[in-house]
């Protein structure tokens, strides 16, 4: 059983060199790549979140932790790749208007890509109009919206409303996720589904495209 606490602590300390060393050790020990991400890297980031909340950590430290986590993810990424070479469908993903959080969204995008979907990642602070434009330009079959702030959750509804207004709602499945999001909220705003983490998002997209 691999001890993930050292890896999590390196993320909390924002020590990229240590994160990379410990991720490499885990890879060499043949630890499941998803466990490295979920238990080691995200496990550390969750502690960062709790400390940020009680002002025990501040923005520069949080950003260093985020960067260290991303450096670790980059090492694990090639192990997750190798899904089907065919495109199982194009997913347009982005963080909604007013929201700059991109770590979870990027993780979801990466996992989808590794599972054989084509992913168009628009980045952060994306308006409903920009999402619509990307769906049209890329023949998007799934729209994946991320929000981390309670104040930006409503932008998910505006984006879905814009799909309806453009007459595209029946042509695109909409999934939503992010720390403040729930299935109840998904039902309220008329999304096709909610996923709590990246693995669940992959399952949900596959299910929606099969139906």
Q: What are phi and psi of 174, to 5 degrees?
A: -115, 125
Please say which residue, 26 or 106, places its beta carbon nearer to ligand B1M: 106
What is the H or E stretch that residue 126 is in? none
Instruction: Show contacts with ligand B1M in window 144-203 (CB under 6 A).
Output: 144-146, 148-151, 175-180, 195, 197-198, 201
Binding map of ligand B1M across residues 22-51, x = CB under 6 A, - = no contact: --------------------x--xx-xx--
| HEC profile of 108-141 | HHHHHHHCCCEEEECCCCECHHHHHHHHHHHCCC
HSE-CB for 149 with a 13 A CA cutoff: 13
Distance CA 22, CA 36 (A): 10
Applying CB under 6 A, does 52 fall inside the site for ligand B1M? yes
Distance CA 143, CA 174 (A): 5
Instruction: Show contacts with ligand B1M in window 64-103 (CB under 6 A).
Output: 66, 98-103
CB of 141 to ligand B1M, least distance (A): 14
Please say which residue, 61 or 85, places its beta carbon nearer to ligand B1M: 61
Q: Which residues bind ligand B1M (CB under 6 A)?
A: 42, 45-46, 48-49, 52-53, 59, 62-63, 66, 98-105, 107-108, 144-146, 148-151, 175-180, 195, 197-198, 201
């Amino acid at each position: 059983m691999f001890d993930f606490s050292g890896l999590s602590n390196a993320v909390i300390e924002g020590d990229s060199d240590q994160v990379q060393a410990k991720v490499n050790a885990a890879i060499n020990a043949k630890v499941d790549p998803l466990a490295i991400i979920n238990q080691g890297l995200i496990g550390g980031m969750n502690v960062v979140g709790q400390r940020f909340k009680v002002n025990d950590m501040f923005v520069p430290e949080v950003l260093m932790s985020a960067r260290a986590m991303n450096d670790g993810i980059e090492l694990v990424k090639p192990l997750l790749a190798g899904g089907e070479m065919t495109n199982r469908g194009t997913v347009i993903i982005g963080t909604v208007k007013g929201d700059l959080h991109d770590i979870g969204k990027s993780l979801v995008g990466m996992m989808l890509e590794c599972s054989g979907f084509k992913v168009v990642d628009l980045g952060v602070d994306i308006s409903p109009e920009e999402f619509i434009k990307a769906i049209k330009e890329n023949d998007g079959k799934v729209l994946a919206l991320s929000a981390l702030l309670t104040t930006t959750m409503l932008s998910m509804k505006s984006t879905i409303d814009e799909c309806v207004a453009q007459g595209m709602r029946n042509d695109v499945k909409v999934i939503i996720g992010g720390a403040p999001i729930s299935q109840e909220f998904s039902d309220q705003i008329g999304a096709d589904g909610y996923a709590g983490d990246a693995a669940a998002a992959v399952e949900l997209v596959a299910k929606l495209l099969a139906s």
